[in-house]
Amino acid sequence: MKKTLLLLAFLIGAAFCANAQNYDATTPTLSAGFSVGATVGAHSSDFPAASGVHLKLEYPLSDSKVSLMFTTGYTFYVSANGYSTGYIDGNSYSSGDLAAFVPVEAGVRVYVLNRLFLQGDAGASFNINSTSSDYTNKKVALLVSPSAGYALPFGSTRFGLDFSLGYEARLETAGGTTTADYPVGSYNQVVFRLAFRFGL
C-alpha cells in the first residue's frame, strides 16, 4: 500500500511538470472522488488500510490564490483480516470489521506554484458504527487533514481532476479497549485522493 502511495505521488509530480502553467481558481467548484490510505499509529496493525469517498466545495476568494474548502464524505478502515459480506444458504454473513466515520471539515487551499496547492482542513469525525463504543471511545472527535496536491484542468478551469497526498488524523485519547477488543487510539492515515472537479 505504501509503495502504491509513493507511485501515485510520483505520477502527481510528473503531471505537474508536464502541465506547468499558471492556474487561477476563479469560480466555485464541486468535486467528488475517492481515497485510499495506509493506516499509521495505534491502529496500523489491526486496521492497516483505509478508503472512502468525499465531496468538496471550493469557494475562491476574489483576486487571490486562496480558496475556502468545505468537505464531507465517508471514510472506513478495514481490519487486518479483510472484510466481506455475502449469503450462504439464504442467510447473510459478514467477515472482518470496518470502522466507519463521516467527516465534516472546513479549510483553506492556497495555490503556491502554478496548479500546485497546499491545503489544511479541520473539523469533526462522526463515528457511525452500530454503537458509539465500537472501535473508538468518542462518538465525535476532532479531525485534522493537511495535504498537498495538484489541480489538472481539462482544457479550462471549469472541469478537471484533483490529485492530493495528505495525512488525516481522527484524534482520540489512547488507552482502554473497545467492545470489539481493538485498542482505543487515534485513527490516522497517509491518504491519496483523486477527484473529478466541475465548475458551478
Choose from 10-24, 144-158, 174-188 the range with maximum mean pLDDT.
144-158
pLDDT in tens, 41-90: 888 888 999 999 999 999 999 878 999 999 999 999 999 888 877 777 77
pTM: predicted TM-score of the whole model, two decimal places: 0.80
The Cα–Cα gap between 128 and 73 comes to 12
Among 150, 129, 141, smallest CA distance to 188 is for 141
pLDDT band at 176 (very low <50, low <70, confident <90, very high): very low
- Cα 157–chain centre separation: 23
Q: Examine the pLDDT at 22 and tell me if it is beyond 60.
A: no
Overall average pLDDT of the 162-187 stretch: 73
pLDDT band at 26 (very low <50, low <70, confident <90, very high): confident
Lowest mean pLDDT among 11-15, 48-52, 135-139, 194-198: 11-15
Q: C-alpha distances in angstroms, 63 versus 25, 151, 162, 178? A: 9, 18, 21, 50
Please give the pLDDT value at position 178.
47
Q: Examine the pLDDT at 154 and tell me if it is beyond 50.
A: yes
Count how many domains the chain has: 1
CATH of the domain at 42: 2.40.160.20
pLDDT in tens, 93-131: 667 888 999 999 999 999 998 889 999 999 999 999 876
For 38, the domain range is 2-84+92-199
**Grid cell at residue 15:** 503531471
Task: Name the residue with cell 489544511.
Answer: 120
* 146 φ/ψ angles, rounded to the nearest 5 degrees: -80, 145
Lowest mean pLDDT among 19-28, 148-157, 173-182: 173-182
Strands 116-127 and 91-113, bridge-based pairing: antiparallel
Q: Which residue has the higher pLDDT, 191 or 139?
A: 191
